[in-house]
Structure 1
Amino acid sequence: MSKNWDLEDEHGSRFMRKARESPFVPVGMAGCVGIVAYGLYKLRSRGDTKMSVHLIHMRVGAQGFIVGAMTLGVIYSMYNEYLAPKDSK
């Protein structure tokens, strides 16, 4: 039984390690889920807008948020690698 708990703990710690290495990935995922949830909520009150147009706008918004989060992640990574002060030990 402890073997299953170790396996689950290993996956959780691996996710946390990856999130610490690139913190904007979970932000991008959460933003995408948030935009899709908001789009589905607004689906009821879309008025005369066609369903396909509404879904395209929702997709573009989610993709834009993810691309923005990835861009910020790359800038953050480049800053840490090239511009951040290094310890000279």
Structure 2
Amino acid sequence: MAASSSRGGPFHGGAAPFRSRDGLSTRQAASSDEIQLRIDPMSADFDDEITGLRSQVRQLRNVAQDIGTEAKFQKDFLDQLDALTRLSSNRSRPFV
């Protein structure tokens, strides 16, 4: 088998069968269509990435909220402008 195979071998330092280079390993469960997945905490440091993603989600949520606020403001402004335009066109013109 090639050194980059997903089975444990020289590439993985004799790691457990089905071990990936990302620190994940699988094994067959009781049922043949189930797989149990274990994340090796030494190889997988997701805390920083999760924190970064949460920060990005928070920023996107704030931007979306700002966009919604701006859209509401502009809609209200255009509604007022439309009402003023209708009001001025409905008034009778002064006599000349």
* TM-score band, normalised by shorter chain: 0.3 to 0.5
Larger Rg: 2
Greater relative contact order (Cα < 8 A, sep 6+): 1
Q: Return the structure number with greater helix share.
A: 1
